Structure 1
Amino acid sequence: MSEYTPVDITPPELRPAALAHHVPDWAEAARTPADVTDWPQRQAAALVPFELDDRGWPLHPHGRTGRTGRNLGKWGENAAADPIVVAGTGKERQVLLITRDDIGVEAIPGGMVDPGETAPAALVRELREETGVDLSDHRPIILGRDLVDDWRNSDHAWVASTSALYLLPATVTAIAADDALDANWYPFGDLDQLDAAITAAGRTLYAAHRPLLQSVLDHLDTAVKPDQTR
């Protein structure tokens, strides 16, 4: 059996020596999972159940990732919220995507749930911060609570997201801000059409969000009525 040699993806600002002097406002101070004291609470609150190894370190629910260390705010699960906004029906249907400022690809607006914040509140906040679109008076459809194949995932720190669908009768003005470099509406009849439109714009769709977008299309195959609950 070959030896498992994962790559440490911990950035300089989260390495133990750096944390001893300064903790970024988006990260916890724990240098390793051994410094975390509330694993039972984190496991109970997790969107996706996970186990601890014999050292008491959290294990990615899907197993080895080829990466170790931490490039996320917390050890273990990092809860995120992904609001998926779709406007129109039929040939006029479009989806709202942003250009991420960290990896420069087209993605669903969204981000991490803040401490003490609920997922529904995070959905509204992230959408408003990144696109200027305020859907606080709309009722979303919760599509799932799932692991995300995020580029920052490691064996001991990963992202799990609450994804929610907002259906609008027509597009609304979106203006990029916060973590978004741009915000645009794209045709959304299926993933092939979306890919073609994004490619034509000289951009690339974030691979980790493809399953979430497909889940929207699957849902719309069975229910295609805009939510106008106000």
Structure 2
Amino acid sequence: MSETTQTIPSALRDWAVSWEAYAPVNVTPPELEPLALAREVPTWAEAAATPADVTDWPERRAAALFPYQLDTRGWPLNPAGRTGRTGRNLGRWAENSAADPIVIAGTGTERKILLITRDDIGVEAIPGGMVDPGETAPQALIRELREETGVDLSDHHPVVLGTALVDDWRNSDHAWVVSTSALYLLPSTVRAVAADDALDANWYPAGSMASLEAAVQEAGRTLYAAHRPLIARAFAYLDH
């Protein structure tokens, strides 16, 4: 699978650069179209059909992990720049908070990493997900890991690696994912069983990015492009 976001020339990505011919594709799924939202709002989404319907922009912008601007219409602009997509395929307009637990067992060349096969795009990924309303990122890390793999690390203290704008396949110019990733270190692998949004759960060799990529490819699968930087950050932390 190639990069999940539509390619935009680097010289035209910045919002400050004029691009009169820019014509992003609307990626809003049927259930988030205005008429559908007027009938029923999915449990995972907010009711605002457009950013104009959002009433708490000052609070949202103040709480954002990555600062962003509003355009002349009052719509939020992806801090990473143009994506080639408009509309919303995420729960909220603007920033959507995710939590990604990176679970690694063993040390050195014998390290292994726990990955799931996502049921939405069929690639190998970190067993993470969106932070629920009223939930903290640390709580989401534990919940997502338990829901998707059956592994309960609630008694472990992870190393929080930081936050990052994620190149998620659902991102658009007006809604995007920001991930908090944390590293969980185990002495050895534990049993993992796929559930919830995961089709499969497996431990892969993780001595390096090269060995991980090779193992995933050998299994006939693809590593999720958006999660490569998060995994690389974990490896860099371990190898420093």
Matches within 5 A, 1:49-88: 49-88=67-106
Q: Partners in 1 of 2:59 and 2:187 — Cα distance?
A: 41
Partner of 1:34: 52
Q: CA shift at 1:162, angstroms?
A: 0.4
Aligned partner of residue 79 in structure 1, secondary structure: strand
Query: Are 1:118 and 2:106 matched, yes or no?
Result: no
Q: CA shift at 1:61, angstroms?
A: 0.3
The code of the aligned residue for 2:96 comes to: N
Q: Which runs of 4+ in 1 moved over 6 A?
A: none
Partner of 2:199: 181
Partner of 1:141: 159
Q: Which runs of 5+ in 1 are unaligned?
A: 223-230
Q: Partners in 2 of 1:43 and 1:190 — Cα distance?
A: 37
Q: CA shift at 1:114, angstroms?
A: 0.3
Q: Partners in 2 of 1:212 and 1:91 — Cα distance?
A: 19
TM norm structure 1: 0.95
Query: Are 1:12 and 2:13 matched, yes or no?
Result: no
The code of the aligned residue for 1:25 comes to: T
Aligned partner of residue 39 in structure 2, secondary structure: coil
Percent of aligned positions that are identical: 75
The code of the aligned residue for 2:134 comes to: G
Partner of 2:62: 44
Offset from partner CA, 1:2-35 (integer Å, 9 cap, x none): 5110000001110011111111111111000010
Partner of 1:154: 172
Q: CA shift at 1:102, angstroms?
A: 0.2
Offset from partner CA, 1:79-111 (integer Å, 9 cap, x none): 000000000001210000000000000000000
Query: Do the aligned residues in 2 keep the contact of 1:47 with 1:161 (CA within 8 Å)?
Result: no
Q: Partners in 1 of 2:64 and 2:182 — Cα distance?
A: 17
Offset from partner CA, 1:102-159 (integer Å, 9 cap, x none): 0000000000000010000000000000000000000011111110000000000000
The code of the aligned residue for 2:148 comes to: E
Q: Which runs of 5+ in 2 are unaligned?
A: 1-18
Partner of 2:148: 130
Query: Are 1:201 and 2:219 matched, yes or no?
Result: yes
Deviates more, 1:209-218 or 1:41-50: 41-50
Query: Do the aligned residues in 2 keep the contact of 1:187 with 1:193 (CA within 8 Å)?
Result: yes
